[in-house]
Structures are given as C-alpha cells and as structure tokens.
A and B are shown apart, each in its own frame.
Chain A
Amino acid sequence: MNDRLSARFAACKAQGRAALVTFVTGGDPTPGDTAAVLDALVAGGADVIELGMPFTDPMADGSAIQLANLRSLGSGTKTADLFAIATAFRQRHPDVPLVLMGYANPMIRRGADWFAAQAKAAGVDGIICVDIPPEEDAELGPALDDAGVHMVRLATPTTDAARLPQVLDGASGFLYYVSVAGITGKQQAATASIEEAVARLKASAGDLPIVVGFGVRTPEQAAAIGRVADGVVVGSAIVDIVGSHGNQAAPYVQAYVASLRGALETREKVA
C-alpha cells in the first residue's frame, strides 16, 4: 500500500515535531466551498486532513460541529459530494493524508464494501467511525481491510488496560486518543493526564502513532500536546471559523492553522 499516513508521521518525526491533524466538516457551508477550506488547511501547514461526513444525528459532537453538520446537510450535501471532494483533493494534493470521519449509518447505508471501495477509489487513506467500537468491528473493519483503507480506532479516558488490547487489535493508520470523556469542542484535559495516558498507550501500541484530540483550541495547547504525542487534532476551533466566515473562511482558516503549525515547530526539543 502506498501509505501516505505512515510516510507523513515518519516525516514529522524526522523533523522532531508532532503532526498537525485538522478536522473540518465536508460540505460546510456548501459542498462547493470545501475545496478552498481544505487547500487552506494544507497551505497553513496541516499534515493530516480529517474530512467530516455530515450526519443528522451527531451524538458525540458539541454545538460547533452539530451546527456545521446542519449547515452542510441544509445545503444538500450528499455522500457522493463527499467522495467527489475527496477525489478532487487527492488530485491537487497527491501526498497529503486524508481521513474520513463520521458516524456509522452513512458509512454502511449502501453496504460496507461499497463504502470501502468508494473511499479507496477517492484516495481516502483511513476512516474514523465514532460509533463502531471493536465489539461491532464486523460492520466495517473487514471491508476496509480488504480495500486497503486504514481503520483508525479511538481510545478514551475510560479505555482501561484490560480493554486496550481489544481497541488496538485491528487499529491502523494511527490511534486517536480522545483526551476527555465528553463531546467535541468542550473543555481540554489537563496536560499531565494527557502525558500519562499517552505513555500508557505507547507502551502497548507498538509503532502506531498516537494522536490526541478533543478540546484543543490554542497554539499553546497544541504545543503542549505536541511535546508528548505523535500528533495533535484540532477540529471545533476550525469549524467555528468556517461557521463565522462562511464561504470567505479560507484565509482565516489558513492563518489560524499556520499559528498552530508554528507552535508545533518552535516547541522545545525533548531529550
């Protein structure tokens, strides 16, 4: 597999910094606006792009991403639009890893095999599905595996040592550590608890990069997480910018992402 994800994490590591993983909701505010936002993420220095698939019932999301889902669906975004956005992105940015993130129902509606094949054809590198835990892996995991698309798993503060091996079994691409028990866009966890959690995950995860997200808003927070994790995810803060500036959001997104990237660059090296 031409593995953009592992290549990118390796490159960041070689540069002595954490990867910057950025999330936006696809089709927000309209399907036609997303390409410019994605380009702004890349231009600002994002390493990995998470493209959110809008869903009517985003149960794990706070108000920022809920509203983005509503804007996107309100303008008529279809699953086909998401794949068209991904396909065009892949043509413009052959090397930037792209991950689709969303909820189970839109992913399995036409069958997991259909979804996995479409994702592969669109140049998507991985899938993050919020509501398919390892217990229901059969719903999507095998289809992604067959298609050669990474299944990115989530670990949380409630994932204890006994459960972790089950989460890691079949996880690929990277491991997404949700640093707070809660929904997106709310408070951030204390740096000390993140550090401890990442150390615990690293002990079991082998070479799988550990990426930390939920509640990260400021360059300082990103830098603090960047000191201990392989990557840091920023989502709601970017989605808020799109929410405020609509189809004019790209330059604001780019400037904000550049500030995050700058903070990751200038971090003190740990010995």
Chain B
Amino acid sequence: MTVINSYRNQPDERGHFGQFGGRYVAETLMPLILDLEREYRAAKADSEFAREFEWLLEHYVGRPSPLYYAERLTETLRESAPDGKGAQVWFKRDELNHTGAHKINNCIGQILLAKRMGKTRIIAETGAGQHGVATATVAARFGLPCVIYMGARDMERQQPNVFRMKLLGAEVIGVESGARTLKDAMNEALRDWVANVHDTFYIIGTAAGPHPYPELVRDFQSVIGKEAKVQMQAQAGRLPDLLVAAIGGGSNAIGLFHPFLDDASVRMLGVEAAGHGIESGAHAASLAGGAPGVLHGNKTYLLQDDDGQIAEAHSISAGLDYPGIGPEHSWLRDIGRVEYTSVTDTEALDAFQLLCRTEGIIPALEPSHAIAAVARVAREMDRDQIICANLCGRGDKDIFTVAEALGVAI
C-alpha cells in the first residue's frame, strides 16, 4: 500500500514530526533510546506482541470501553442553544478502564516492551498520579520493582493516588525542585534513568519525550480511536463530525485523534488548560501561550521566556499542569489539521458539575476541560451532528480538590 498525503505516517525515521519531536537527550541515554527504537520496531512486527497486548487490554484493563450517547447532557445543552442547534454528545468511556483512566493502555504496552528488553526495574513520572498508579499497577502485575517520581505539590493535592501507588508496592519519591509538579518529576525521572540505564525501563506517561516515545505512546493509546471508529459506525452508522479531548502532554487526545486523521470529514479539537486565563500568565496552554523549544528530549511548543527558561504552568488539574505538549500536536496544529482551544479552571469546574448532575458520571478534572469545550461548541453545531469526546478519566481522585475549589469542607 502506498500512502499518499496521509497525516498518519509521522514521524520520519529520525523521530521528527515536521520541525518537532527528535531526540534531544544526553549522550548517556542515546544508545538506550536507539535500542528502544529497535526493540519497538521488532515488537510492532511481532504478532505475538500484539496478541499479548490485546489480551491484557481485554481481560485486565476491561476493553473495549463503551461508546456512550450522553442524552441528558445533549438535551441540557440544547435548552440554551439556538433553534435547530445542539449537537449530539457521545463519550468514549475510558474512565471505566482498570485504574480509572486511559493511562493504563500505554503502561501495558510499555511494560511488555520492558519485559522484551530484559529490564528489571521500572521508573515513571506522574502528575495527577493516574500514570503513576497505572505504572505501579502493571509493575505489580509483572512483578517488577517500581519507583514513581511525583512533584511534592502534586502529592499534596492527589493524596488518594499516592496511597494507591504505595498499596501497589511502588516507592513514591517526592520531588522538591522547581514548582514541585510534573515537569520537575520528569527531570528527576530522567536523572534516575541516566544513572541506571543498564537495568531500568522508563515508562513515560504521555506522548512526549525523546523519539520513539511520542510514537509508541500514540500507538498504544490509538486503541481508543480505533475502537471509537468501529463503535460509532455500529451505533450511529457514520463517523463523528467532531472529536474533542483534553491535552496535558496529549496522549489521550492523540490516541483518539490518530485513527481519524485521514478522515477529512472529521474535525478535531484539542483542549488545553487555561488555568486562571491565558492573559493571567497562570495557565498550562503551551500552544496558545508558548513557542517552539527543546525540553525533556523533544522539540515542541513550550511555555518559556525570551531566554528559553521554562515557565511554570498552572492548572487546577494536576494532569494538565505541564508547560509542554507532545510534538505531534505541535505539528498538527501548525499544519492546521487539528484545532486547539483552551478552558479555564472555573469553566472546567462547571463542566465537572454539569456532567455529575446530567449523566451521573463524576469525571476527572482533565476531561472536564474537554467537556467544557464540548458545552461551548455543541450549542453552535446542528442537532444532527455528532461530537465524540474522550472521557479519559474518572473523578474519584479529584473530589478533594473540587471540594476545596467549591469551598466545601469534607
């Protein structure tokens, strides 16, 4: 098959998505990154690897996740929409996965790679703790020791997940440098990795980092979009008109979007965290408020000053609180295939409550950003149009943060 004019055959052999991506790592890590790439190519061509991945997704993670028509939410949004407006809202229910978010899809794939490479120790960074929990989970399942780096500030606001990781047998190391959030946790994980290259596999939690991570995380997360495509055809008889997903590093979004990139009728909207508002400077929207630069192994849009110093991000959602974005999103935005918008803390909190009350689903704060964007655009779209949003995590972990934001003592 020759693919002409496809958006789906990135990156190039050097890991570049247009000017983005690449392998900006210390020399110590370079041979390991090349090894990982070789091993990933071999795994991709190995039907046994695919079989094991799919088996675990079905029986351990609980896939396929449902595709669900949110009728009450749709009706509620229509009440405030102009006549004839108010698109149908559907959710890809990845919050029903084992461990409560999409993160586990990627962790299953990467732990199988770690096993293939004979690595005996697992490390990861985490923000909200969802990736940390998913990593600790697969490490327990495969009997490998596991160290999770987590910003000390994130540990405070995501206490339940810290305890979950410990229950699963992981060692959680609080990171005190910088703003003590996800970026700093990633620095510390990279420092661990560079000192333990011989036995350690670094399970990166989003579609970012040095090549081949953005590609392999995307591939593992693409199960979301592949399922959604089949399910949408089966249930609605056609493709959706618009896909919507929240963006931290961009893994749930690229997982949903990628299988649809060559379907010209499908529009896509990535939702960044606007924190207190883009103008306030306290946000995590690297596309809206950043510029291309190099951090954590890849070139991508970053929040930074004129000297290239990285700025601190802010979002009420720990999982979105990161000053960068996966390189494929930077490319998709520059070529115009995907649109990006942003949603503030307050809008996300409103959407969080809206979903609780209309659908009986408590979403995580990350997909609450996607839901807020859905609420905005659904009212402008025709009634017969279909929006499919990624409900990529459940909100159990966030109830303390939400209570505090709403001024409720629990």
Contacts and interface: CB of A to CB of B under 8 A. Distances in A.
B28 A181 contact: yes
B308 A60 contact: no
Contacts of B99: none
B26 to A, nearest CB: 5
Given A131-B294, A181-B194, A56 B178 contact: yes
Contacts of B288: none
Contacts of B307: 78-79, 106, 109
B121 interface: no
Interface stretch (A11-19, A159-167, A231-239): A159-167
A259 B194 CA distance: 31
Interface stretch (A37-45, A150-158, A200-208): A150-158
A268 interface: no
Nearest to B179: A56
B26 A60 contact: yes
A156 B197 CA distance: 12
Given A60-B194, A108-B308, A109-B308, A157 B23 contact: no
B304 A136 contact: no
Q: Is the interface of B mostly helix, strand, loop or mixed?
A: mixed
Interface residues on A, range: 35 or more
Nearest to A61: B191
Given A57-B178, A109-B293, A109-B306, A104 B24 contact: yes
B218 interface: no
A255 interface: no
Interface stretch (B249-257, B295-303, B326-334): B295-303
A60 B23 contact: no
A131 B297 contact: yes
Interface in A75-130: 78-79, 103-110, 130
Nearest to B24: A131
Interface string B151-191: 00000000000000000000000000110000100010011
A131 B27 CA distance: 7
A135 interface: yes
Interface in A166-205: 167, 178, 180-183, 186
Contacts of A61: 191
A159 B31 contact: yes
Interface of B: 14, 22-32, 177-178, 183, 187, 190-191, 194-195, 197-198, 293-297, 302, 304, 306-310
Given A60-B194, A106-B308, A131-B294, 7 more contacts: A59-B187, A109-B293, A131-B24, A131-B297, A132-B24, A139-B294, A180-B195
